Chains A and B, each alone.
Chain A
Amino acid sequence: MTTETPARTPAAAGKERRYDAIVVGGGHNGLVNGAYLAKSGLRTLILERRHLVGGAAITEELHPGFWFTTFSYALSLLRPDIIHELELTKHGFMPLLMPTTFAPKEDGDYLLLTQDRGENLKEIARHSAHDADAYEAFEHDVSQVLQAIKPLLDQVPPDIFSDDPEELVALASAGQRFRRMDKQVLHNAVRLLTGSAADFLDDYFESEILKGYLASSSIIGTKVGPYSQGSGLVLLYHFIGEHDGVFGAWAFHKKGNGGFTQVLARAAQGFGAEIRLESPVERVLTRDGRATGVALADGSEYHADVVVSALDPRRTFLELVDPRELPADLVDSIERFRFQGTSAKVNFALDGAPRFPALGDRTDQYRGFTNIGPSMEYLERAYDDAKYGWYSKRPYLDCALQSTIDPDMAPPGKHVMSCFVQYSPYHLRESDWDTEKPNLGDTVQRTLEGFFPGFGDLVLHREVVTPLDIERTVGLSEGNIFAGEFLAPQMFFFRPAPGWSQYRTPIEGYYQCGSGTHPGGCVMGAPGKLAAGQVLKDVTARTTKAR
Chain B
Amino acid sequence: MIRTTPFHERTSALNETGLWEHWSGHLTAVRYQASEKFEYFAVRNSAGIFDTSPLFKYRIHGPDAERFLGGVLARDPRAAKPGQAQYTLWCDDRGFVVEDGVLLRHAHDDFVLTAAEPNLAWFGDRIGRLRVRVDEITDEYGVLAFQGPRSGQILATLAPRTAELGYFDLTPETIAGCPVTVSRTGYTGDLGYEIWSRRDDALTIWDCLQQVSEGQGVIPFGMTALYMLRIEAGLLLLDVDFASSRYAWTDEQRVTPHELGLGWMLKGIEDPDRPFIGRRAILRELADKSSRWRLTGLLIEWQDYDRHYNDAGLIPPKDHVPVQEELFVYDDAGAQVGFATSSMYSPMLQRHIALARVRPELAKPGTELRLEIAVNHRYEYVRARTARTPLYNPERKTA
Co-assembled chains A and B: yes
Q: A244-B318, A245-B317, A414-B215 are in contact. Are A81 and B35 (CB under 8 A)?
A: no
Q: Does B33 contact A (CB under 8 A)?
A: yes
- The answer to whether B37 touches A94, judged by C-beta atoms less than 8 angstroms apart, is no
List the A side residues contacting B349 at CB < 8 Å: 89
Q: How far is the CA of A202 from the CA of B141 in the complex (A)?
A: 59
Q: Does B45 reach chain A (CB closer than 8 Å)?
A: yes
Q: In the complex, which residues 346-399 of chain B have their Cβ closer than 8 Å to any Cβ of chain A?
A: 347-351
Q: How many residues of B contact A (CB 8 A)?
A: 31
Closest chain B residue to A118, Cβ basis: B34
Whether B315 contacts A143 by the Cβ 8 Å rule is yes
User: Looking across the interface, which residue of chain A has its beta carbon closest to that of B40?
Assistant: A97
The complex places the Cα of A119 from the Cα of B16 at a distance, in Å, of: 12
Identify A412's interface contact among B34, B41, B216, CB under 8 A.
Answer: B216
A407 within 8 A of B: yes
CA distance A115 to B34 in the complex (A): 6
- Interfacial chain A residues near B302, Cβ < 8 Å: 80, 84
Residues on A with C-beta less than 8 A from B46 are 407
Q: Are B41 and A96 closer than 8 Å at their CB atoms?
A: yes
Determine the interface band of chain A, counting residues with CB < 8 A from chain B: 20 to 34
For the complex, what is the distance from the CA of A245 to the CA of B44, rounded to whole Å?
Answer: 20
Tell me, yes or no, whether B303 is within 8 Å of chain A by CB.
yes
Q: Evaluate contact between B38 and A97: CB separation under 8 angstroms.
A: yes
Shortest beta-carbon distance from A426 to chain B in Å: 37
Query: Taking the complex as formed, is A404 at the interface, i.e. its CB lies under 8 A from any CB of chain B?
Result: yes
In the complex, how many angstroms separate the beta carbon of B229 from the nearest chain A beta carbon?
A: 15
CB distance from B96 to the nearest CB of A (A): 36
Majority SS at the chain B contact face: loop
Known A99-B37, A99-B38, A406-B45: A84·B351 in contact at CB below 8 Å: yes
B217 at interface (Cβ–Cβ under 8 A)?
Answer: yes
CB A475 to nearest CB in B, in angstroms, measures 31
Q: Tell me if A338 is interfacial: C-beta within 8 Å of chain B.
A: no
B70 at the interface (CB under 8 A from A): no
CA A364 – CA B320 in complex, angstroms?
A: 22
Interface string of A67-93 (1 = CB under 8 A from B): 000000000000011011000110001
Contacts of B306 in A (CB 8 A): 80
CB of A233 to closest CB in B, whole Å: 21
Q: Which residues of A contact B315 (CB under 8 A)?
A: 143, 147, 245, 247
How far is the CB of A42 from the nearest CB of chain B, in Å?
24
**A367 and B214 form a contact (CB under 8 A):** no
Closest Cβ neighbor of A96 among chain B residues: B41
**Known contacts A84-B302, A244-B318, A245-B317, A412 near B214 by CB under 8 Å:** yes
Chain B residue contacts of A116, Cβ below 8 A:
17, 34-35
Is A226 an interface residue when CB atoms closer than 8 A count as contact? no
Question: Which residues of B in the span 13-40 have a Cβ within 8 Å of any Cβ on A?
Answer: 17, 33-35, 37-38
Interface flag for B316 (CB, 8 Å): yes
Give bound CA distance, A117 to B345, whole Å: 20
Does residue B150 face the partner (Cβ distance < 8 Å to A)? yes
Q: Which of chain B's residues 290-318 have a Cβ closer than 8 Å to chain A?
A: 302-303, 306, 310, 315-318
CA distance A50 to B38 in the complex (A): 35
Contact of A244 among B17, B38, B216, B347 (CB under 8 A): B347
State the CA gap A500–B163 with chains docked (Å). Answer: 60
Q: Which of B327-359 contact A (CB under 8 A)?
A: 345, 347-351
With a cutoff of 8 Å between Cβ atoms, the chain A residues found around residue B318 in the complex are 244-246
Does A453 make an interface contact (CB < 8 A)? no
Q: How far apart are the CA atoms of A254 and B45 in the complex, in Å? A: 8
Q: Does A376 contact B (CB under 8 A)?
A: no
Q: Please give, as numbers and ranges, the residues of chain B lying within 8 Å of A413 by CB-CB distance.
A: 214-215
In angstroms, Cα B345 to Cα A246, docked, is 13
- Are B316 and A245 within 8 A (Cβ)? yes
Is B215 a contact partner of A244 (Cβ separation < 8 A)? no
A99 to B215, CA, bound (A): 18
Q: How far is the CA of A94 from the CA of B45 in the complex (A)?
A: 9
Residues of B close to A245: CB separation below 8 A: 315-319, 345
Q: Which residues of chain B have C-beta atoms less than 8 A from A143's C-beta?
A: 315
Q: How many angstroms between the C-alpha atoms of A80 and B319 in the bound complex?
A: 16
Instruction: Report chain A residues within 8 Å CB of B303.
Output: 81, 84
User: Is A114 in the interface zone, CB < 8 Å from B?
Assistant: yes
Distance in angstroms between the alpha carbons of A367 and B306 in the assembled complex: 29
Q: Across the interface, which residues of B come within 8 angstroms of A32, CB to CB? A: none
A215 within 8 A of B: no
Q: Please tell me if the beta carbons of A96 and B34 are within 8 angstroms of each other in the complex.
A: no
Nearest chain A CB to B149 CB, angstrom units? 9
Among residues 123 to 179 in chain B, which have CB atoms less than 8 Å away from a CB atom of chain A?
A: 150
Q: Is A214 an interface residue (CB 8 A)?
A: no
Query: Is B215's CB under 8 angstroms from A412's CB?
Result: yes
Candidate in A80, A246, A247 with the most chain B CB atoms within 10 angstroms = A80
B34 / chain A contacts, CB cutoff of 8 Å: 99, 114-116, 119
The docked-state distance in angstroms from the alpha carbon of A6 to that of B33 is: 41
Is there contact, CB below 8 Å, between B347 and A97? yes
Q: Which residues on the B side are within 8 Å of A246 (C-beta)?
A: 318
Distance in Å: Cβ of A205 to nearest Cβ of chain B: 23
**Residue A405 at the chain B interface, CB threshold 8 Å:** yes
B40 to chain A, nearest CB (A): 8
C-beta contact mask, B213-228 vs A, less than 8 Å → 1, else 0? Answer: 0111100000000000
Q: Report chain A residues within 8 Å CB of B320.
A: 244
A231-245 interface code vs B (CB 8 A; 1 in, 0 out): 000000000000011
Which residues of chain A come closer than 8 Å to B35, judged between CB atoms? 97, 99, 114-116
Say yes or no: A115-B37 contact (C-beta < 8 A), given A94-B348, A244-B318, A245-B345.
Answer: yes
Chain B min CB distance to A249 (Å): 10
Could you list 27 examples of A-B contacts with CB < 8 Å?
A80-B306, A84-B303, A84-B351, A89-B348, A96-B41, A96-B45, A97-B37, A99-B37, A99-B38, A114-B33, A114-B34, A115-B38, A116-B34, A143-B315, A147-B310, A245-B315, A245-B318, A247-B315, A254-B45, A404-B217, A406-B45, A407-B150, A407-B215, A407-B217, A412-B214, A412-B215, A412-B216
Known A115-B37, A407-B217; further 14 A-B contacts with Cβ < 8 A: A89-B349, A89-B350, A95-B347, A99-B34, A99-B35, A99-B38, A119-B34, A143-B315, A244-B320, A404-B217, A405-B41, A407-B45, A413-B215, A414-B215
3 smallest A-B Cβ distances: which pairs?
A: A245-B318, A413-B215, A412-B215
